[in-house]
């Protein structure tokens, strides 16, 4: 009996250790409304995470806007500067929406046009569960939007941004009347943070 208990305990410790090892890279998004911490799923969305981190490392998102905000749906940013000018982005990437991750509240996904493989820099954070954005089939209508991470701290900030009064600005709809600025996005070095 004691031997069985020991084996069970060792199995449990190994399982917990493997769960903590799955944690992906993290990024800190500093906005004029507060900070949002993201955990990225490099295992399930490797191309999308690499794409996002490329823009982060280049400082691309620094000084951009959350330019489209719909309460109860999502907040979208990463494509326009504070003068509402579209920033030139790198080439589009392949859509990884068939990775098993879903557009639930707090998840982050890449925005795109009607072309499933057109995503570049723009992203959105789901303000609520949006199953209609999930992958259902490899067709134009079924591709969905590639989720690549989730908010682990700062959903109160997402809520605050999502409830901003909006209107039209520079030909864009659902633009916050008071600019919501992404001041800076940086990687978080988890090893450095724990030491």
117 DSSP 8-state letter: T
With contact defined as beta carbons under 8 Å apart, do 49 and 25 qualify? yes
pTM: 0.86
pLDDT tens digits for 144-190? 999 999 999 999 999 999 999 999 999 999 999 999 999 999 999 85
Q: How many residues does the chain have?
A: 195
With contact defined as beta carbons under 8 Å apart, do 37 and 151 qualify? yes
d(CA 71, CA 155): 13
Structure tokens at 183: 């001041």
d(CA 109, CA 150): 9
Q: Is 120 exposed, middle or buried (0-12, 13-18, 19+ CB in 10 A)?
A: buried
Q: Has residue 29 got a pLDDT over 60?
A: yes
Q: Which of 97, 66, 64, 93 is nearest to 81 (CA)?
A: 64
20: left (phi over 0), alpha (psi -120 to 50) or beta: alpha
Q: Which CATH superfamily groups domain 24-188?
A: Cyclophilin-like (2.40.100.10)
With cut-offs at 50, 70 and 90, classify the pLDDT of residue 22: low
Interacting residues of 10 by C-beta distance below 8 A, sequence separation 6+:
none
158-187 burial: b if 16+ Cβ within 10 Å, else e: beebbebebeebeeeebbbeeebbbeebee
pLDDT tens digits for 54-113? 999 999 999 999 999 999 999 999 999 999 999 999 999 999 999 999 999 999 999 999
Q: Has residue 193 got a pLDDT over 60?
A: no
> Domain locations in the chain?
24-188
Res 37: pLDDT: 98
With contact defined as beta carbons under 8 Å apart, do 108 and 149 qualify? yes
Q: Which of 64, 55, 70, 80 is nearest to 30 (CA)?
A: 64
């Amino acid at each position: 009996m004691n031997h069985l208990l020991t084996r069970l305990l060792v199995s449990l410790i190994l399982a917990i250790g493997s769960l903590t090892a799955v944690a992906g890279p993290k990024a800190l998004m500093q906005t004029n409304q507060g900070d949002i911490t993201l955990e990225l799923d490099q295992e399930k969305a490797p191309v999308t995470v690499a794409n996002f981190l490329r823009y982060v490392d280049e400082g691309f998102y620094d000084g951009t806007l959350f330019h489209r905000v719909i309460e109860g749906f999502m907040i979208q940013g990463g494509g326009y500067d504070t003068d509402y000018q579209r920033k030139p982005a790198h080439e589009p990437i392949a859509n990884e929406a068939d990775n098993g991750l879903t557009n639930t509240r707090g998840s982050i996904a890449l925005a795109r046009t009607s072309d499933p493989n057109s995503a570049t820099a723009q992203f959105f954070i789901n303000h609520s569960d949006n199953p209609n954005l999930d992958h259902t089939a490899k067709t134009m209508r079924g591709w969905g939007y590639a989720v690549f991470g989730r908010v682990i701290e700062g959903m109160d900030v997402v809520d605050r941004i999502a409830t901003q009064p909006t209107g039209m600005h520079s030909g864009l709809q659902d633009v916050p009347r008071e600019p919501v600025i992404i001041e800076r996005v940086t990687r978080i070095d988890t090893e450095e943070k724990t030491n």
